[in-house]
Structure 1
Amino acid sequence: MLSVVVAPWAGEAEPVFVREPDELHDAASTMKVAVLAALYRSGVELDAEVPVVNRFASVVGGEFGNDPAWDSDPLPWELVGTAAPLRLLAERMITHSSNLATNLCLAQIDRATVAEAWRRAGATRSASPRGIEDYAARDAGVHNRVSARDLVRLLHSLGGEPELLALLEHNAFRVDLAAGLPPGTRIAFKNGWVPGARHSVGLVHPEDCPPYLIAVCYTGPLASGEDRTDPAARLLARVSAAVWERRGQIGGGIGREIG
């Protein structure tokens, strides 16, 4: 299943190209954008230091922990047993897609605050009600899921929060959407990968036309779960390159199917 939504950044960001825009996919790490928005809007003290632990409350009771083998960022694991500024953890959640940092950030806010981030964005299908690797919750039917349309809406909702968009520009994983753009092109984006799914949502800043939003979600056998060498990452890059070639058309037309 391949879902694509492309929209202008200006105005209400109504899509101009869509393909299966409302199909639900495993959220993977794209849900970290909602966690980031919720954290920054919550009023918590971002420069306060919080204990770096690896035990978290499951939404269905009991506790769970993260597996370092499934995390793409070693830094938070080096801090286990100490304390770290919440701002640093939020940054690593986005720039290096740290699972441990994500759950540490979630532990500082009510999950209703994350739900509000989706609601404020106008999302109609997406939700992230549990932490990453809360397998007991997953087995009980509590899932983090996203649609391409809702990811575009979520990123568009950060328009008045340049600090958050700036963090997304520092994404260390320059694959997926970024790999389909000419070198040096500005893009604020978040990607996510698990075996069987690969997604990315971004705000692209061409030099020759207005910025645009793009979300591509793929669920299928191409997705190996590798962070940089996943074959599905090359698929997302090809879609990104095709949209780039049509970037001058993104200012007009609504809801046209592609592919």
Structure 2
Amino acid sequence: MNWDRLDRELADTAGTVSVYAGRLDAAPAYTRLPQQTHYAASTMKVAVLGALYRAADTGALDPDAPVPVENGFDSAKPGAPRFRCSPSYDNDPAVWARVGGRAPLRWLAERMIVRSSNLATNLVLGHVGLPAVAAVWALAGARDSHTGRGIEDFAAREAGIDNPVTAADLAALLGTIVLGTEAPGPLASTAACTTMLRVLLDQEHREDLAAGLPDGTRVAHKNGWVHGVRHAAGVVFPNDAPPYTVVVCTSDHPDGGDPDAAARRLIARVSATVWATRRDLAPVPTPPS
């Protein structure tokens, strides 16, 4: 595979594009700006998922216990008023239909991933807490990613409290979950990692990374998007090659009248390119000293 050709295409693309691609148990085969920070958008929900199942492992939380579904949350900015989510900024009416009632944390966590519900995310985050999410990033080996606030916590955002991620850290987090399904790892038990993998495999938003794969290909992934940002991070399970990770983060990616559509197409092209070389994802050689 001529990775130089992909590198030239991405260098000519408007905005900032970061990529990490490689097998789970090896150095990456291709990277581009892997430590460049981007606003996380909904990719931070994977770390929240990890925090829930770590808490379930220790008995600190029961994921099957129903909790109140309320639209009101404490801001990460000290002294700021509580904030609310907007239904128009969400992707899952099923969670909003439960407002005023109760729902199990497990169900909320699934909706947080498969439909990318912001309301479900803030509800789960309220129970696990930001320190638990920070622990997930640290245990996965993340260097530059953290979760400082919930979604739509605009007072915290204006105070500089944010949710940065990098392609390398998202790859590390997903890899830790998937490898944890085969043997106990630092993040959670084998059973918990297996449950998280199943949730990620059920992802319903398949218009970017999954769009670059043949129909029926198993891929455990999470994407995220806001104005000017589109990311996708996943682990692909080919039938004829070892599983591999592919992460694409794009920021400030204008192209014609629909920048998000252009970013989706770009991520699909990168995904297809990595798929084409899935049998030979050799690590990047270390230059001689």
Using the size of structure 1 for normalisation, the TM-score is 0.93
Task: Determine whether 1:250 maps to 2:281.
Answer: yes
After TM superposition, the structure 1 stretch with the greater mean CA deviation from structure 2, 27-36 or 240-249, is: 240-249
Matching residue within 266, 272, 285 for 1:241: 272
Pairwise mapping of residues 189-200 of structure 1 onto structure 2 (< 5 A)?
189-200=221-232
Whether the aligned pair in 2 keeps the contact of 1:194 and 1:223 (CA below 8 Å) is: no
Matching residue within 210, 225, 237 for 1:205: 237
Whether the aligned pair in 2 keeps the contact of 1:18 and 1:255 (CA below 8 Å) is: no
Higher Rg of the two aligned structures: 2
Identify the residue that residue 7 of structure 1 maps to in structure 2.
22
Whether the aligned pair in 2 keeps the contact of 1:90 and 1:101 (CA below 8 Å) is: yes
Matching residue within 174, 181, 190 for 2:206: 174
Identify the residue that residue 251 of structure 2 maps to in structure 1.
219
Note the residue ranges of structure 2 that are not aligned, 5 or more in a row.
Answer: 1-15, 181-192
Whether the aligned pair in 2 keeps the contact of 1:180 and 1:237 (CA below 8 Å) is: yes
1:9-49 Cα offsets, whole Å, 9 max, x none, are 2x2x4212100100000100000000000111013100111
How far off its partner does 1:235 sit? 1.0
Whether the aligned pair in 1 keeps the contact of 2:90 and 2:119 (CA below 8 Å) is: yes
Identify the residue that residue 218 of structure 2 maps to in structure 1.
186
Change (3 A) 1:70 1:255: farther
Note the residue ranges of structure 1 that are not aligned, 5 or more in a row.
Answer: none
Pairwise mapping of residues 95-244 of structure 1 onto structure 2 (< 5 A)?
95-158=114-177, 159-160=179-180, 161-222=193-254, 230-244=261-275
Task: Determine whether 1:35 maps to 2:66.
Answer: no
Change (3 A) 1:255 1:183: farther
Distance 2:176 2:130 in 1: 18
**Over 2 Å off, 4+ runs:** 221-224, 251-256
Distance 1:223 1:94 in 2: 28
Distance 1:189 1:251 in 2: 22
How far off its partner does 1:252 sit? 3.7
After TM superposition, the structure 1 stretch with the greater mean CA deviation from structure 2, 213-222 or 95-104, is: 213-222
Change (3 A) 1:136 1:254: farther
Corresponding pairs, count: 251
Residue type matched to 2:223 in 1?
N
Distance 1:210 1:18 in 2: 19
Whether the aligned pair in 1 keeps the contact of 2:171 and 2:233 (CA below 8 Å) is: yes
Greater per-residue helix proportion: 2
1:55-95 Cα offsets, whole Å, 9 max, x none, are 00001132111111110111111110011111110100011
Calculate the aligned-residue CA RMSD, in Å: 1.7
Distance 1:255 1:245 in 2: 23
Query: Which SS does the other structure have where 1:162 is aligned?
Result: helix
Change (3 A) 1:255 1:75: farther
How far off its partner does 1:179 sit? 0.2
Whether the aligned pair in 1 keeps the contact of 2:27 and 2:283 (CA below 8 Å) is: no
How far off its partner does 1:254 sit? 4.7
Give the fraction of aligned pairs with identical amino acids, expressed as a percent: 49
Residue type matched to 1:190 in 2?
K
Whether the aligned pair in 2 keeps the contact of 1:169 and 1:189 (CA below 8 Å) is: yes
